[in-house]
Structure 1
């Protein structure tokens, strides 16, 4: 008589599948190797609930053996926290924004967060992927209020002064800084001072223009509309293009205040091509103190913003929000750095 096959309950269970070290191991594989549930592995990795020492050691050993790395996107879906910060910049190539991003990253990294960069796209809402998978936003774009696809993400404005709503921000006093720059030129004896500015979607551009106009008014000097040139953007080429026409005026300016170092450096290049010497024929003062300002010839006289500190403080304000706090806006100090161009 043939023997009956053993019932399923009597069969030996096959060993759990093993994944090679360094492979894209799953949390289930870690749990199987450690002999615990996936929930226990999650508690150990996220330190969300107490786990006894012996169990923790088994889980950590399995993680090390399999080379497991937690997927932040999966963690976002299960825990509601990705530990990813979205940093929105208008231009990734501009050294001004690059310096601020380094300041942001210095703080987020220390606190266990990573950053994701996105280029600003006007005033539209955030991409749904960012909206879903990041914990908060640091924005250097000109939007006056956070707009997301659904969630009310914690939001901090960096460099821009938010005049509407309750969005926390970190910035400098752009109007006063511009007044300081123009006053420096006035003190050097200049009276025909031109303004090289940017599109005034940005609050800082409006505030720097207001500072220029205030300084000129206090000196009893009218602002000649022909001396105010609006660049298409804030790149070096935009500065060259906008400044070139100043030299064709019947009475060209003897000095230029540019609202960004990139515009100022572009202007100097245009003046040189036209055979003008800086500062002997025309002085130039910039704004921001990007790294190139010091090594460019001539060295650029400029308003120094604490760029990395702006980024670091923005990150601190966002982390305070994520911890349930209500941070106050911060205004950081600026300084006039005198070099050779002014």
Structure 2
């Protein structure tokens, strides 16, 4: 003979919507404030009351609104990442590194276009003023950040990729100057004397520092610095590398090697050289910078300076979390490496 169980069914709302905190309070016979105390652990609650609330939560299938809880505690558990160029795979790899740390620590990410967010008429800027993000990891030009840092001095920031010399905010980077020295010295050791530089907007500190390294390596080798061999690309996309490299081909005495301050510029340069029948590296060697994933599968595989890209992002996230926890967050310089492949 079968028996019928008398266990009460979960009191799920007929609408199928998730139960509200007020429904939990009513079910448990306590106030909404008491439910909140149990869920958030903000104040001591006696064992009987806690058990009733927990039973009501289980019966109703209640899920607390994490954002609402966070706002009550004065935090959102959201971090903002400012990215200068979504098309550049270098920045995408950094964001992956950031996410690997924030996910484990219960933080969500909002990834935003740096130029749009920092624009004075941008709605995204309101989210910073209204503290809808607990902190910011910026991959943008540090010069663009200074006005905002002055206006929101208590919002925790960390700069990533940019090496910030004045120490206003913690940063994680490599030694861009030394990395460029290593790159150019490799080309010099291979017998090159006419070495061109494909660089980027020097509002970026890393671009200035890489140019400084290029010039230092040439001077150290007693090679005159020829301003005609320096080309400033209009951006760091592949097409701008093709464009800038094309101007080198018009020179009466073309360079025998090119040092590009990003892999995307280097790959663009190789495509420009190929279009006019120049072989790489036989006719002209090309050195990149960053070691983005495509660098190893492109033909010819790119000789480049490898940044620990995901580690940059992960370290930046760790620095920011330290700041949010009230601890000191000192700047960090990571190691680069020269990766020799087929292009130089």
Asked whether 1:315 is paired with 2:317, we answer yes
Query: Take 2:16 and 2:237, find their aligned partners in 1: how far apart are those partners?
Result: 44
Q: Is the 8 A contact 1:27 1:38 kept in 2?
A: yes
Deviation of the 1:184 alpha carbon: 0.4
Q: Is the 8 A contact 1:240 1:270 kept in 2?
A: yes
2:3 is matched with none
Q: Secondary structure at the match of 1:121?
A: helix
Asked whether 1:292 is paired with 2:294, we answer yes
1:97 is matched with 91
Q: Is the 8 A contact 2:142 2:162 kept in 1?
A: no
Deviation of the 1:296 alpha carbon: 0.8
Aligned equivalent of 1:87, options 81, 87, 97: 81
1:5 is matched with none
Aligned equivalent of 1:335, options 311, 323, 337: 337
Deviation of the 1:299 alpha carbon: 0.6
Q: Is the 8 A contact 2:79 2:108 kept in 1?
A: yes
Q: Secondary structure at the match of 1:110?
A: coil
1:128 is matched with 126
Asked whether 1:112 is paired with 2:106, we answer yes
Deviation of the 1:161 alpha carbon: 1.2
Q: Which runs of 5+ in 1 are unaligned?
A: 1-16
Q: Is the 8 A contact 2:87 2:237 kept in 1?
A: no
Query: Take 1:69 and 1:42, find their aligned partners in 2: how far apart are those partners?
Result: 12
Asked whether 1:269 is paired with 2:263, we answer no
2:4 is matched with none
Query: Take 1:259 and 1:108, find their aligned partners in 2: how far apart are those partners?
Result: 29
Deviation of the 1:46 alpha carbon: 3.1
Aligned equivalent of 2:24, options 24, 30, 36: 30
Using the size of structure 1 for normalisation, the TM-score is 0.88
Q: Secondary structure at the match of 1:133?
A: coil
Query: Take 1:56 and 1:175, find their aligned partners in 2: how far apart are those partners?
Result: 60
Query: Take 1:336 and 1:183, find their aligned partners in 2: how far apart are those partners?
Result: 11
Structural mapping, 1:12-23, within 5 Å: 19-20=13-14, 23=17
Query: Take 2:66 and 2:192, find their aligned partners in 1: how far apart are those partners?
Result: 57
* Per-residue deviation, residues 245-299 of structure 1 (Å, max 9, x unmatched): 1111001001100001111111111111111111111111100011111111111
Structural mapping, 1:64-213, within 5 Å: 64-121=58-115, 124=119, 127-131=125-129, 132-144=131-143, 145=145, 147=148, 150=152, 152-213=154-215
Q: Is the 8 A contact 1:18 1:29 kept in 2?
A: no
* Per-residue deviation, residues 70-92 of structure 1 (Å, max 9, x unmatched): 44543344221111111111112
When structure 1 is superposed on structure 2, of 224-233 and 137-146 the one drifting more is: 137-146
C-alpha distance 53-254 of structure 1, shift in aligned 2 (>3 A) = farther
When structure 1 is superposed on structure 2, of 92-101 and 172-181 the one drifting more is: 92-101
* Per-residue deviation, residues 181-221 of structure 1 (Å, max 9, x unmatched): 00000000011100000001111000001000000110111
1:222 is matched with 224
2:237 is matched with 235
C-alpha distance 134-249 of structure 1, shift in aligned 2 (>3 A) = same
May I ask how many residue pairs the two structures share in their alignment? Answer: 326
Query: Take 2:68 and 2:176, find their aligned partners in 1: how far apart are those partners?
Result: 42
Q: Which runs of 5+ in 2 are unaligned?
A: 1-10
